[in-house]
Chains A and B, each alone.
Chain A
Amino acid sequence: MIIVCPFCGPRDLSEFAYCGDADNLAARPDPAATDPAAWNAYVYDRTNPAGEHAEIWQHAGGCRKFLRVVRNTVTHEISGVTMLEPKA
Chain B
Amino acid sequence: MAEYSALSIVRNALSGNEHWKPAWRKPEPKPAYDVIIVGGGGHGLSTAYYLASEFGIRNVAVVEKGWVGSGNIGRNTTIVRSNYLLPGNTPFYEHSMKLWENLSHELNYNVMFSQRGIINLFHTPAQEDDHARRGNSMILQGVDARFVRPPELKRRVPALNVSGSSRFPVLGGLEQPRAGTARHDAVAWGYARGADRRGVDIIENCEVTGFVREGDQVTGVETSRGRIHARKVAVAVAGATSRVMAMAGIGRLPIESHVLQAFVTESIKPCLDTVVTYGGGHLYISQSDKGSLVFGGDIDGYNSYAQRGNLPIVEDVMSEVLELFPAFAKLRLLRSWGGIMDMSMDGSPIIAKGPLPGLYLNAGWCYGGFKATPASGWCFAHTIAKDEPHQFNAPYTLDRFHRGTVIDEKGQGATPWKH
Contact = CB atoms under 8 A, between A and B. Distances in A.
Contacts of A43: 345, 401, 414
B55 interface: no
Given A1-B310, A40-B402, A53 B252 contact: no
Contacts of A63: none
A37 B415 CA distance: 19
The binding surface of chain A is classed by DSSP as mixed
A45 B417 contact: no
A44 B414 contact: yes
Interface residues of B, number: 25
A57 to B, nearest CB: 8
Contacts of B255: 46, 48
B256 interface: yes
Contacts of B147: none
Contacts of A82: none
Contact of A44 (B254, B301, B312, B315): B254
A44 B242 contact: no
A45 B252 contact: yes
B417 A48 contact: no
Nearest to B346: A44
B252 A47 contact: yes
Contact of B243 (A37, A40, A41, A50): A50
A37 B312 contact: no
Nearest to B301: A18
Interface of B: 242-243, 251-257, 301-306, 310-312, 315, 345, 401-402, 414-415, 417
Given A40-B402, A47-B252, 19 more contacts: A1-B310, A13-B310, A13-B312, A14-B312, A18-B301, A18-B302, A18-B417, A37-B402, A44-B402, A45-B401, A46-B253, A46-B256, A48-B256, A48-B303, A50-B242, A73-B257, A73-B303, A76-B306, A76-B310
